[in-house]
Amino acid sequence: MSMKLYRSIQQLDQRFSAYTPYLLLTFAVIASQLIFLTPYLLDGELDTIFRYWDGPNYAYLAKVLYQVPVDHPLSPYVKAEYYAAHLPLYPLAIRAFSFLGYNTAMLFTTFIFTWAATLTFYQLIKENGWVKAPAWSAFISLFIPARYVIYHNVGATEAPFIFFMCASLLFYFRGNYIAAFLMGGFAGITRITGILMGAGYFISLIIERKWKVIPLLALIAIPLFLTFTFYHFHYGDFFAYFNVNLSSSNKLIRSMPLQIFLSYGSHGKDHSAEFYLAMYAIFGLGTLSLYNINKALFCQMLVMYVFSLFIFHQDLARYLIPLAPFAIVVAYDKILTQTTSRLAVLPLIPLTYIYAWRVLPHNLCVPWVYKNLKFFLGQ
């Protein structure tokens, strides 16, 4: 009897040990958000979080669901048709929790996706053996790059996009292609770059000679196609998304690569040009090193990295955030898991919060416009 009891306790202990990383990572995600919010909770200034762009746009869109009048609350900033540039999955997720109030629902939605993204990333790298210490890698992914500390704590699409990307890759490597491509499709209606997963998978499937799977890639395009079909009837323009982001006044993509770097370098802004050069180098070398880790993962990140070279935007660092879990955390694992690196990383984490707290107040919706929005949202 005592032997059976001992075995039962041992099995229970093994099961608990298996869940320990998930519990610790859940605690880390909760703690990371509470630490970020603490100064604003103590000052009673959570509106500072809600006012951070593009949070107000997403909270508003969650309520009106693209039924945007000309005189909408945020009209001093953007015209009604501008909301075609905001894809529907994240606003719909906020809408699902709107019983909390739209602003609270927005932060809660971001938190849920951050938690899901962190655990899914952990599961992905654990199952495929890409890193030495998966729990550590998943933990530091919350702080790399420092910019992500902001965007997984405000109204933003980075966390949901990373979740759907990781979920898609997880199913892909399990051989569940339908689920993988559906997750890729959801990524595509979170951020437009999600559609690039189709190109990455296409290259991988050709290399792997999995010809029968290739037609299933259409699943990635279907959610975005349905979204653009809705735009056709709602805005009278199937390509309304691109007409906002690729307009002459807001031409996000250029025909030649490295234009943002060349522009700053040509205008004597040497510090900024060097910063872009460093980002291209760090992410580029990381992407290339993925070739020796996993060919399919390499194809995915290579497509996204090459696309980033054509982005013309001063906030290029934000567009590179989705690559970071793989092009930095996985790619530089041999460095990041060294004892000396761990000792160096831990003291740097508080600096990411200091960075976030200092940057946050410089990208806010002005008080009088936000006041109108807040009244409209019934907050």
DSSP bridge pairs for 311: 253
Q: Does 17 score more than 90 pLDDT? A: no
Percent of the chain with pLDDT over 90: 85
Q: Which two tokens stand for residue 274?
A: 């060097």
Mean pLDDT of 298-325: 95
Supply the pLDDT for residue 44. 86
Supply the pLDDT for residue 251. 76
Mean pLDDT of 175-200: 98
Q: Which two tokens stand for residue 60?
A: 């508003």
Contact of 298 with 327, CB cutoff 8 Å: no
Per-chain mean pLDDT for the chain: 93
Higher-confidence residue of 313 and 297: namely 297
Supply the pLDDT for residue 379. 78
Mean pLDDT of 12-17: 56
Mean pLDDT of 21-27: 96
Supply the pLDDT for residue 3. 56
Classified as helix, coil or strand, 311 is strand
Query: pLDDT of 77-117, one tens digit each?
Result: 999 999 999 999 999 999 999 999 999 999 999 999 999 99
Query: pLDDT of 322-342, one tens digit each?
Result: 999 999 999 999 999 999 999
Q: Does 219 score more than 90 pLDDT? A: yes
Cα–Cα distance for residue pair 355/331, rounded to 1 Å: 24
Q: Does 51 score more than 80 pLDDT? A: yes
Using pLDDT thresholds of 50, 70 and 90, give the confidence band for residue 14. Answer: low
Classified as helix, coil or strand, 52 is strand
